[in-house]
Amino acid sequence: MKSKILNYLFKSYHRPSAKILHIFALIQKLFFNKKTKIFSEKMFLLKFPPNSVIYLNFFGRMVCLFLNFLSIIFFNKFLHDSIFIDNGNLKNSNLIKGKNDYIWPPQSIKFKENSNIKLEKTFCDKLEENYNFSLELSSKSTILKDSPWWISIREEYQKLFLNSDKKINLTALENFRSNIKTKSAIISEPSYLKGNDRINKIKSLSLLNLYHKTSEHIDLEILRKVSESHVGKNNCLNYRNQRLSHTLLRHSYFCSQILSHTKLDRNEKNVIFDLGGGYGSLSRLLKYIYKKSTIVIIEIPEACILSTFFLKKNFPNSKIGQALDFKNIENIKKQDLTNFDFVVLPQPFIEKLDSDIINLSINTISLGEMTNETQNYYINHIERITKDYFYSVNRPSKRVEKYNAQGFYDWNFSKTWDTKIYNFSPTYHIEFLGKKEID
C-alpha cells in the first residue's frame, strides 16, 4: 500500500509532485527572456528546461549575478561547478558525456580547434619577409599617414613582437593575448581576466550578464557555437563549455547581423573584406559561418603579423595569401583572392583590388580612429571595390580629444546604398548595413 502511494505521489504520470513542479517552473519562467522556449502539451505538466537552453531577462540576470557574487565573496567559487575561469590548459577529454549545462553533442567551435599545432619555420620566415616588404611599401605612401595615436600603437607593437634585430619574436606571438600591457584595445581587451583569482571571478560576471543580454539580439545558431580561441593564451569565462570574452560576444553580434540581414549564400565563394581586421577575431568567426568564402584583411604591417599568425594557428590547413603573393599583380581580381582561404595585406594594396569584386565590406570602429584624409581614402575605395554590402559600426561624430577624426555623419558617400540596418549599436556607435545599388 505504501509503495503504491509513493508511486502515485512521485512517479505516476499524474503525480501531484509534477503539479508542484509546474508551479515552480511557471515562476521561474518570469526570469526567462523571449529566446527561452518553455511550454507543455498537457495542463499542469510544465517542467524545467535544460540549463543550456535558458536565457535570462533583466530580472533573471540580476538574480543570477547577485547569487554568484555572494558565492564568490564567501566561498571563492561560482554557484555552479560548470562555470569557471578557463586559462586554456584544459583538454577536450574532460567532456565525456552530455550534461544539462551545455548543448549535446558539443556545438562550440573550440572542439574543432587544436591550438597546440606548431607552425613550420618556413611559414614564420615568410611572415617576416612579408612584414619587411609591407613596412617598406606602407612607408612610401603619401596618403596613408598614421594619426599620433596609431603611431604610438605601432611603436608598441614593434617593441612587443619584434626583437632588437627586427626579427619576429615568436614567443611573444604565442602569448600575445596573455596579460600584455598596451594601449591597444584589440590586444588588452582579451587579457581582461588577469591577476587575483577572486577578482577575476567577480569581473567575469559581466561576461555572464552580457551572454544573456545579447542572446536577445544574436541568432542562437551563432551564440551556441561561438567560443574564444586558445591562440594567444588569454583567460576566459568558461560557460556552457564556451570560452567567453567581450570581444567574442561583440563579434558574435556583428556576425549575427550580417547573417540575418544579407542574402550572402553560405555555399558560395564570397569575398568578405574586413578593413582594420585586427588580429583576425571577427574573420575567424566569419570563416566558420561562410566556410567557402575568402576573408580579406587590410591592416597596418604589425597587425598583419598578428592576424596571419592567429588565423594560421586556428586554421592550420588554410591557405593564407600575403603581400608578396600579390606583389606583381597590378589589378587583383576576384579569382586571385578566391585561390586563398584568407588574404592579409597592408593598407596600400586596397588600391590594387579590382572594382565591384567584394561581396561584403566591413569596418567596425577603426575608421573613426584615422586621419580625415586616410578616412576619405578608404571610403572611396570601399565604395569602388564593394559589389554588394557594406557593414559599418562607427562613432557618429568627430572625437577631438583622442583621434581628431570625423565621424560617420561626416562621410561623403558617392554611391547609393539601400539601407538594411540603421540603428544605435550596442557599442554606442552608428550601425549601418547597406546594399549597393547599381548605377
Cα–Cα distance for residue pair 214/166, rounded to 1 Å: 42
Cα–Cα distance for residue pair 325/153, rounded to 1 Å: 27
Residue 212 in this model has a pLDDT that exceeds 80: yes
**Helix H segments across 346-425?**
372-385
Mean pLDDT value across residues 296-316: 96
Q: What is the pLDDT of residue 92?
A: 47
Percent helix, strand, coil in the chain, to 5, is 45, 15, 40
Q: Which residue has the cell 509546474?
A: 22
In this predicted model, what pLDDT tens digit does every residue of 229-277 receive, in sequence order? 999 988 999 999 999 999 999 999 999 999 999 999 999 999 999 999 9
Mean pLDDT value across residues 125-130: 94
Cell of 366: 577603426
Mean pLDDT value across residues 154-171: 88
In this predicted model, what pLDDT tens digit does every residue of 344-370 receive, in sequence order? 999 999 999 999 999 999 999 999 888
Cell of 166: 627586427
Q: What is the pLDDT of residue 403?
A: 67
**Does CATH number 3.20.20.80 belong to domain 262-436?**
no
Q: 97 or 299: whose pLDDT is higher? A: 299
Cα–Cα distance for residue pair 384/382, rounded to 1 Å: 5
Q: In the chain, where does the domain assigned CATH 3.40.50.150 lie?
A: 262-436
In this predicted model, what pLDDT tens digit does every residue of 68-116 receive, in sequence order? 999 999 999 999 988 999 987 655 445 567 889 988 888 889 888 877 7
- Note the pTM of the prediction, 2 decimals: 0.93
Angle between helices 197-214 and 58-75 (to 10 degrees): 170
Contact present, 281 and 297 (Cβ < 8 Å):
no
Averaged pLDDT score across all residues of the chain: 90
**Helix H segments across 231-333?**
246-261, 281-289, 301-314
